Amino acid sequence: MRTLSIFNSLTRTVEKFEPLNPPLVTYYSCGPTVYSRQHLGNMRSYLFADTLKRALEFDGFTVRHVMNITDVGHMTSDADAGEDKVEMAAHAEGRSPQELAARYTQAFLGDLEQLNVEPAEVYCRATDHITDMIGLIGRIIERGYAYVAPSGVYFDVVRYRACGRSVAEAKGSGRPGRLSRQRLEEQHSAQRLEHAPDKRSPHDFALWVLNQPRHLMQWDSPWGRGYPGWHVECSAMAMKYLGETIDLHSGGIDHIPIHHENEIAQSESATGKPFARYFVHNAFLVGSEGAKISKSAGRFPVLDDLVAAGINPLAFRLFCFAAKYRSELGFSLDALKAAERNLYYLWGFTKVARPEQPDAPFARDYYERFAEALNDDLNTPRALAAALELVAEAYRRSDLRVWQTLTALDRVMGLRLEAQLNYVRASRLPDDIQALVDRRTRARAERNFELADQLRQELVARGYEVRDRRDGSSSYAPRWS
RNA sequence: GGCGGCGUACCCAAGUGGCUAAGGGAGAGGUCUGCAAAACCUCGAUUCGUCGGUUCGAUUCCGACCGCCGCCUCCA
């Protein structure tokens, strides 16, 4: 078994990854709040999570991956006027929150499928786990880290941050958050003045929201009718499916200061145990001007936009694979097109590959390079370079026996090479296309190149790729599925 | 105000205290081909935002500056 080194946000260093009970890895990654389409920036995160999971599997681990689908409780802010994102969007679209959530959940899963993301072992909806959340909140209250106020049950951030010294002492000088390294008093609190007046501190966050009669989704709880806060579903569901201490937790870099900090706080104050042993965060996809692509900024491309532009979704997958997860990635059509060229380069190899033969010895070096790069904190760009050079080397040597290696690498890259091979091999030409092919073959035999070229143009226009070989034979295949 | 990050060729993007600064795209030239396409070969940053410092030696470490970005309010 190889050892993955990965940057752990908890320690801010690259560490050897060692799960609690190998070969099992318990992995929780943050899923979407389903009130809108997930844009390409979001998709980068899910692709990153997928690559991380595939890398662990490449190394021989068995990954149990849990992803949340948050369909309630995600507020637009923590102020009084904060509204539930799902309910707000539902209202705007004239649907029920349930309909809206179901619709965007489907769209989300469809996107993952198009990107060839391995399905998680468990997708869990927040609304299916209300009792788990209530149980967790109860434990937090018992341990003294949450309190009940008229407007809700709040996590007592000041008490938690005090951790080992008196609350009074900690007030205004609490220890910095483990992930964000921010001290409470250093945070810009001007924006938080609108907070619920019965909160003890502006930093406290809601575990359970009470007395919001206009809210549609409500459940009974020991503290009254209401609904859960945003972060608590992740803690509750992660623990339910993976245990009180999980191996690995990932998400976007923006989750470091709020969501994950809060998850850790509420989880560990409930259990007294470490919540996650490794936290891993991916950087943003940014627009051409270097600004992040964000939902709140309004317009942002979604996967369907790429498809509409004629770009294969897997090109986006490869595009993300070609950059390190911890670096910002600059999105542009040119850059995406470059990735698409690489995709077609690898797919094109299926037309000449020798899947029935064992690999030539030279393939081994490239496999090793790929594995080494991958395990070096997921250096996917270097891994990709190894894969591309493997194919180039095969062409160069005119020794095309590298298929076993290439497909092994593709179990991490996820470009569906195997499926592409089957597709290319299985596809028979439709009769009308075959007729054109026959006519062209005849024309070429008669050295009537004018007609042959005309027929080639026709075939290309119909979506077929024409490749004449040196020996005079030709291949006609649909231009990529 | 606090926390964090970035600046490598036309574009995307790795990387290292000193071996030729990965790889890809685009571009130029070539091989092959009836011509294409595909594939392969060659070329391409004497240089890594700027200025200092440490060092025998820095793109890589330190400092300052310039520029860009994220977070501290929902955000992958």
Read off φ and ψ for residue A312, nearest 5 degrees: -70, 130
A70 CB-near residues (< 8 Å, 6+ apart) = A31, A32, A33, A34, A126, A230, A233, A234
Same domain, A264 and A312: no
Distance of C1' in B47 from CA in A342, Å: 28
pLDDT at A192: 45
Same domain, A263 and A409: no
Q: For nucleotide B32, give the residue with the nearest CA to its C1'.
A: A470
Same domain, A145 and A211: yes
How far is Cα A335 from Cα A2, in angstroms, rounded to an integer?
A: 32
Q: Determine if strand B comes within 7 Å of the CB of A180.
A: yes
**Could you report the per-residue pLDDT of A273-316, keeping only the tens digit for each?**
999 999 999 999 987 654 555 444 455 789 998 988 889 999 99
In a domain, A21, yes or no: yes
In a domain, A184, yes or no: yes
Q: Determine if strand B comes within 7 Å of the CB of A178.
A: no
How far is Cα A70 from Cα A259, in angstroms, rounded to an integer?
A: 13
Rounded to two decimals, the ipTM of the complex is 0.92
In a domain, A94, yes or no: yes
Q: Where are the beta strands (DSSP E) in A98-138?
A: 122-125
Same domain, A86 and A164: yes
Same domain, A187 and A225: yes
Contact, A229 vs A6, CB < 8 A?
no
Q: Determine if strand B comes within 7 Å of the CB of A294.
A: yes
Which nucleotide is at minimal CA–C1' distance from A392? B40
How far is Cα A299 from Cα A294, in angstroms, rounded to an integer?
A: 8
In a domain, A294, yes or no: no
Same domain, A169 and A230: yes
Same domain, A351 and A453: no
Residue spans of chain A under pLDDT 50: 80, 164-173, 189-194, 290, 294-297
Same domain, A351 and A267: no
pLDDT at A189: 47
Which nucleotide is at minimal CA–C1' distance from A78? B73
Sign of CA dihedral A41, A45, A47, A48: positive
In a domain, A385, yes or no: yes
Q: Determine if strand B comes within 7 Å of the CB of A475.
A: no
Distance of C1' in B4 from CA in A253, Å: 10
Range of the domain at A86: 5-282
Same domain, A327 and A437: no
Same domain, A223 and A315: no
Q: Which of residues 387-406 of A touch strand B (CB under 7 A)?
A: 388-389, 391-392, 395-396
Give chain A's domain count: 3
Which nucleotide is at minimal CA–C1' distance from A182? B3
Same domain, A238 and A348: no
Nucleotides of B under 7 A from a protein CB: 1-6, 11-15, 22-26, 32-41, 68-76
Same domain, A57 and A85: yes
Which nucleotide is at minimal CA–C1' distance from A38? B76
CA dihedral angle for residue A184, residue A187, residue A189, residue A192, rounded to 10 degrees: -80
Query: The tokens of A219 are what?
Result: 């459940």
- Whole-angstrom CA distances from A140 to A84, A208, A232, A236, A398 are 23, 12, 11, 12, 65
Q: What CATH number should be reported for the domain holding residue A260?
A: 3.40.50.620
In a domain, A297, yes or no: no
How far is Cα A443 from Cα A425, in angstroms, rounded to an integer?
A: 26
Q: Determine if strand B comes within 7 Å of the CB of A62.
A: no
Residue in A95, A252, A238 with CA at minimum distance from that of residue A104:
A95
Which nucleotide is at minimal CA–C1' distance from A449? B34
Cross-strand pairs, A251: A281
In a domain, A421, yes or no: yes
How far is Cα A377 from Cα A4, in angstroms, rounded to an integer?
A: 7
In a domain, A148, yes or no: yes
Residue in A134, A79, A95 with CA at minimum distance from that of residue A87:
A95
Q: For nucleotide B2, give the residue with the nearest CA to its C1'.
A: A186
From the CB of residue A212, how many other CB atoms can be counted at a distance below 10 Å?
17
**Could you report the per-residue pLDDT of A236-254, keeping only the tens digit for each?**
999 999 999 999 999 998 8
DSSP state at residue A288: T
How far is Cα A285 from Cα A41, in angstroms, rounded to an integer?
A: 5
